[in-house]
C-alpha cells in the first residue's frame, strides 16, 4: 500500500471499543482471505479532476455526475494528489463565509463560484489528508482498516500507474459503501460478531450531536463542519428524532438554490425531496444485532443508522466507519 500525503488535517473521532472475547474469528478469516480485486465492478465510471480544475468546473462535475468526491490526478507528476469532497468545497465557497449571515439573501444574488483552482482546497478538504492506493491483490482486512481510520474511500490499481488514470483495468475506487455491502452479502460468514448487540460492541456513546428543527440548514452544515462529523440528528421540541441532515445533502445545490440553506432545516429537507416529504431517519436500538444494522444500512441505502431509546431520543449513531472498525478490531 502507498499513501500520498497532502498535508491536510483529518477529522476523526470515535469511542474506544471494549475488549470482549468472541467465540470465533470467522469475520477476520473472511476479510483476510478475500482480495479487494475480486469485488471490483468493471463498468463503474471513474471521474477525476486535475489540480488546475476550477471550483466552478468541479462544482459542475459534482452536480452532473452525482458524486460526493473526486480524485485529483496531476499530469505533471503522474501522481494522485488526493480527494476533494463536495461538502468541503461547499464549505469553502459558501458555508464558512460570514458574509452569508451579515448580508442575508442579497448576498446570494451576487455570489459567484470562484475561478481559482481546486488544488489548494485539498488543504481544507476533510477527506484529502492522504490518498491511499492499494493493489487489487490486497486483502480486505487491510482495506477495512484504512476505511475505518483514515479515509471513506481508497483507490485500487491492478498495476503501477502508467500515466493514464483512465485505464479502467488499472484504477477503481472502493468505498465504505462497497465494504458494508460485501458484509451484507456474507452475513452467514461473519460468525459471532454479527450476533452481538451494538451496545455490547461499544457503538452507543450516549453523546449524539443534534439540531433543533427550527434551526437553519446552514447552521446544521456549519455544525457538521466544526464538529468534524458527517451528520446531525434533527429533533423536535420533545427531543425526538424526526430527520437527519448530512454532508451529502449538499448534492445538487447550485448558485440559484444555495439560498435555501438559510431556511429551517425541515423546510430545506422537504424542498430537497421530489414529493416535498420529510424522510424519516433509519433507527435502531441498543440491543439491535450488528448484522441487522448492516442490513439496514444496505437496504435503506444510507450511511448511518441512529440509535434511539424507547422515547425515540437519539443516543448515538452507527456509521459505516463504525462497521469497518468493528470487524477489524474484534
Q: What is the pLDDT along the chain (330 residues), one digit of tens a residue?
A: 433 333 333 454 444 455 444 557 899 999 999 999 999 876 667 888 999 998 888 888 888 888 888 888 888 888 888 888 888 887 776 665 545 445 554 554 444 556 788 877 766 555 555 678 899 999 999 999 999 986 889 989 875 445 555 554 467 889 999 999 999 999 999 999 999 999 999 888 777 899 999 999 999 998 998 888 889 999 999 999 999 999 889 887 777 787 888 899 999 999 988 888 899 999 999 999 999 999 999 999 999 999 999 999 999 999 999 999 999 988
In degrees to the nearest 10, what's the CA dihedral of 243, 241, 288, 16?
A: 90
User: CA–CA separation, 218 vs 158, rounded Å?
Assistant: 42
User: CA–CA separation, 249 vs 45, rounded Å?
Assistant: 22
Q: pLDDT at position 15, please?
A: 47
Query: Parallel, antiparallel, or unpaired: how do β-strands 231-235 and 210-212 relate?
Result: parallel
Residues 6+ positions from 157 with CB-CB distance below 8 Å? 133, 134, 135, 136, 170, 171, 172
Q: Is 264 exposed, middle or buried (0-12, 13-18, 19+ CB in 10 A)?
A: middle
Q: pLDDT at position 4, please?
A: 38
Q: pLDDT at position 5, please?
A: 34
CA distances from 256 to 112, 113, 164 (A): 10, 11, 36
Nearest CA to 86 among 111, 108, 103, 64?
64
Residues 6+ positions from 214 with CB-CB distance below 8 Å? 264
Q: pLDDT at position 121, please?
A: 72
Q: pLDDT at position 285, please?
A: 96
- Please give the grid coordinates belonging to residue 325: 472498525
Q: pLDDT at position 25, please?
A: 85
pTM: 0.83
164-193 in b/e form (b: 16+ CB < 10 A) is: ebeeeebbbbbbbbbbbbbbbebeeebbeb
How many of the other CB atoms lie within 10 Å of CB of 228? 12
Q: pLDDT at position 231, please?
A: 93
User: CA–CA separation, 239 vs 227, rounded Å?
Assistant: 20
Amino acid at each position: 500500500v502507498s499513501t500520498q500525503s497532502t498535508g491536510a488535517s483529518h477529522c476523526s473521532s470515535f469511542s474506544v471499543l471494549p475488549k470482549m472475547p468472541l467465540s470465533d474469528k470467522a469475520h477476520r478469516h473472511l476479510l483476510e482471505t478475500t482480495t479487494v480485486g475480486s469485488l471490483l465492478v468493471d463498468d463503474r465510471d471513474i471521474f477525476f479532476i486535475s489540480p488546475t480544475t476550477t471550483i466552478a468546473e468541479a462544482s459542475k462535475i459534482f452536480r452532473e455526475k452525482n458524486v460526493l468526491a473526486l480524485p485529483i490526478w496531476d499530469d505533471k507528476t503522474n501522481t494522485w494528489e488526493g480527494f476533494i469532497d463536495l461538502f468541503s468545497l461547499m464549505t469553502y465557497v459558501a458555508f464558512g463565509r460570514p458574509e452569508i449571515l451579515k448580508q442575508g439573501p442579497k448576498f446570494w444574488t451576487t455570489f459567484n463560484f470562484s475561478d481559482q483552482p481546486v488544488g489548494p482546497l485539498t488543504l481544507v478538504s476533510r477527506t484529502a489528508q492522504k490518498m491511499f492506493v492499494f493493489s487489487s491483490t490486497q486483502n480486505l482486512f487491510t482495506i477495512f482498516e484504512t476505511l475505518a481510520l483514515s479515509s471513506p474511500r481508497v483507490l485500487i490499481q491492478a498495476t503501477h500507474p502508467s500515466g493514464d488514470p483512465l485505464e479502467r483495468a488499472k484504477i477503481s475506487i472502493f468505498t465504505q459503501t462497497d465494504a458494508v455491502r460485501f458484509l451484507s452479502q456474507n452475513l452467514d460468514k461473519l460468525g459471532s460478531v454479527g450476533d452481538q448487540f451494538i451496545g455490547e460492541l461499544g457503538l452507543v456513546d450516549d453523546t449524539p450531536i443534534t439540531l433543533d428543527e427550527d434551526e437553519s440548514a446552514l447552521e446544521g452544515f456549519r455544525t457538521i463542519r466544526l464538529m468534524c462529523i458527517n451528520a446531525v440528528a434533527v429533533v423536535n421540541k420533545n427531543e425526538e428524532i424526526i430527520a437527519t441532515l448530512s454532508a451529502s445533502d449538499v448534492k445538487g445545490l447550485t448558485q440559484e438554490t444555495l439560498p435555501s440553506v438559510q431556511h429551517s432545516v425541515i423546510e430545506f429537507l422537504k424542498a430537497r425531496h421530489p414529493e416535498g416529504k420529510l424522510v424519516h431517519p433509519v433507527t435502531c436500538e441498543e440491543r439491535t444485532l450488528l448484522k441487522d444494522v448492516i442490513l439496514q444500512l444496505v437496504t435503506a441505502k444510507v450511511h448511518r443508522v441512529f440509535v434511539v431509546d424507547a422515547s425515540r431520543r437519539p443516543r448515538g449513531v452507527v456509521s459505516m466507519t463504525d462497521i469497518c472498525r468493528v470487524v477489524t478490531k474484534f
